[in-house]
């Protein structure tokens, strides 16, 4: 029983990381109608920045996280500006391939800078674990912080898109780019802003991920990136609550599959669930059903 509960909590925590990454995928897809496959590698850059500022510069963890967020936010804007903006009117396949190119570029740049040997990431959360039920259930502080961070981010983002001018323009652009321009919304600025937010969140996800799973390599971001993309599709790509739901579901399924079925098969099971969901609901769990006009 305690085991089940522990697995559930760990699943929600891993899922929270997926959800935070998935937000970046889903927001960028919603607004720029592109799949930014380099998003996973921004996570890795964020983790490295935090690692460097803590290990080399001996800065406190909080400063490390803030630095990581700043660097990734700027990185996101620069990537969009240099790689994707020139392709704004290009076919989507060209943009997709460019995104894969950017992904390899980031991985190899990291390989050059930080070499291939895995770094051991020191957790940014230095709090004692929480003991419940007379010590029969121990939840690590990172797990709790991850879930809390996810909740805070979700609330902040929902407020942002629902209440602020910039957030509303984002929704307008995602719905009808052309009409938004004719209403005086600067679409380029809006897209830039989306990349900035998505990449800043990726940095937080990277730090949280490496705090829970402390091995940091240039390829650290790619698998969580793909899982988060899966989560975004599962929840309905373009939908912010969808990314949240998809991420958490995926995390829980993964941990349960690892615990009760097979460690090796866990990824296969995760992707099988995706295939089944898409067969039944092609637009994802919370995705909008697109009505064909006749």
Please give the Cα distance from 60 to 248 (Å, whole number): 30
Length of the chain: 294
Please give the Cα distance from 35 to 132 (Å, whole number): 42
Tell me the closest approach of the beta carbon of residue 27 to another protein, in angstroms. 15
Count of residues binding another protein (CB under 8 A)? 23
DSSP state of 80: I
Strand positions, DSSP E, the chain: 119-120, 130-132, 137-139, 215-216
Closer to another protein at the Cβ: 91 or 291?
Answer: 291
List 185, 233, 237, 248, residue binding another protein (CB under 8 A) = 185
List 1, 93, 182, 279, residue binding another protein (CB under 8 A) = 182
List 81, 85, 168, 281, residue binding another protein (CB under 8 A) = 168
> How many other C-beta atoms are found inside a 10 Å radius of the C-beta of residue 208?
30
Q: Give the burial string for 157-177 (b: 16+ CB within 10 Å, else e).
A: beeebeeeeebebbebbbeeb
Please give the Cα distance from 108 to 226 (Å, whole number): 18
Tell me the closest approach of the beta carbon of residue 190 to another protein, in angstroms. 11
Identify residues 102-141 at the interface with another protein (CB under 8 A). none
Please give the Cα distance from 250 to 64 (Å, whole number): 28
Closer to another protein at the Cβ: 91 or 178?
Answer: 178
Closer to another protein at the Cβ: 111 or 151?
Answer: 151
Tell me the closest approach of the beta carbon of residue 180 to another protein, in angstroms. 7
Residue given tokens 């006009």 in the structure block = 293
Tell me: does residue 192 bind another protein (CB under 8 A): no
Two tokens, residue 73? 């936010």
Closer to another protein at the Cβ: 182 or 280?
Answer: 182
Please give the Cα distance from 253 to 260 (Å, whole number): 10
List 110, 172, 203, 274, residue binding another protein (CB under 8 A) = 172
Query: DSSP characters for 214-226?
Result: -EE-TTTTHHHHH
Closer to another protein at the Cβ: 175 or 265?
Answer: 175
Q: What are phi and psi of 131, to 5 degrees?
A: -105, 130
List 109, 175, 260, 272, residue binding another protein (CB under 8 A) = 175
Tell me: does residue 169 bind another protein (CB under 8 A): yes
Tell me the closest approach of the beta carbon of residue 249 to another protein, in angstroms. 24
Angle between helices 141-163 and 187-212 in degrees, nearest 10: 170
Identify residues 138-167 at the interface with another protein (CB under 8 A). 156, 159-160, 163-166
Please give the Cα distance from 246 to 237 (Å, whole number): 10
Tell me: does residue 26 bind another protein (CB under 8 A): no
Please give the Cα distance from 246 to 232 (Å, whole number): 6
Tell me: does residue 78 bind another protein (CB under 8 A): no
List 1, 117, 184, 263, residue binding another protein (CB under 8 A) = 184
List 63, 186, 223, 265, residue binding another protein (CB under 8 A) = 186
List 158, 181, 192, 219, residue binding another protein (CB under 8 A) = 181
Tell me: does residue 291 bind another protein (CB under 8 A): no
Interacting residue ranges for another protein, rule: CB under 8 A: 156, 159-160, 163-166, 168-169, 171-172, 175-176, 178-187
């Amino acid at each position: 029983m305690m085991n089940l509960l522990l697995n559930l909590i760990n699943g929600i925590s891993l899922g929270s990381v997926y959800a935070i990454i998935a937000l970046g995928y889903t927001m960028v897809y919603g607004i720029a109608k592109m799949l930014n496959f380099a998003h996973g590698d921004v996570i890795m850059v964020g983790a490295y920045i935090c690692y460097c500022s803590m290990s080399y510069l001996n800065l406190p963890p909080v400063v490390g996280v803030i630095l990581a967020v700043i660097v990734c936010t700027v990185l996101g804007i620069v990537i969009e500006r240099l790689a994707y903006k020139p392709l704004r009117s290009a076919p989507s396949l060209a943009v997709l391939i460019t995104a894969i190119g950017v992904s390899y570029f980031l991985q190899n740049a990291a390989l050059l800078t930080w070499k291939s040997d895995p770094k051991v990431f020191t957790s940014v959360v230095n709090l004692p674990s929480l003991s419940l039920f007379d010590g029969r259930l121990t939840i690590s502080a990172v797990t709790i912080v991850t879930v809390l961070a996810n909740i805070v981010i979700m609330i902040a983002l929902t407020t942002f898109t629902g209440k602020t001018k910039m957030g509303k323009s984002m929704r307008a652009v995602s719905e009808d780019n052309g009409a938004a321009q004719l209403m005086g919304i600067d679409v380029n600025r809006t897209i830039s802003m989306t990349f900035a937010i998505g990449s800043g969140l990726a940095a937080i996800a990277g730090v949280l991920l490496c705090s829970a799973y402390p091995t940091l390599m240039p390829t650290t971001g790619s698998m969580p990136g793909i899982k988060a993309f899966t989560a975004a599709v599962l929840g309905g790509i373009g939908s912010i609550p969808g990314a949240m739901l998809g991420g958490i579901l995926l995390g829980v399924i993964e941990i349960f599959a690892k615990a009760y079925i097979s460690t090796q098969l866990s990824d296969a099971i995760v992707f099988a669930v995706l295939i089944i969901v898409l067969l039944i609901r092609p637009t994802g769990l919370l995705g909008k059903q697109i009505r064909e006009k006749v």
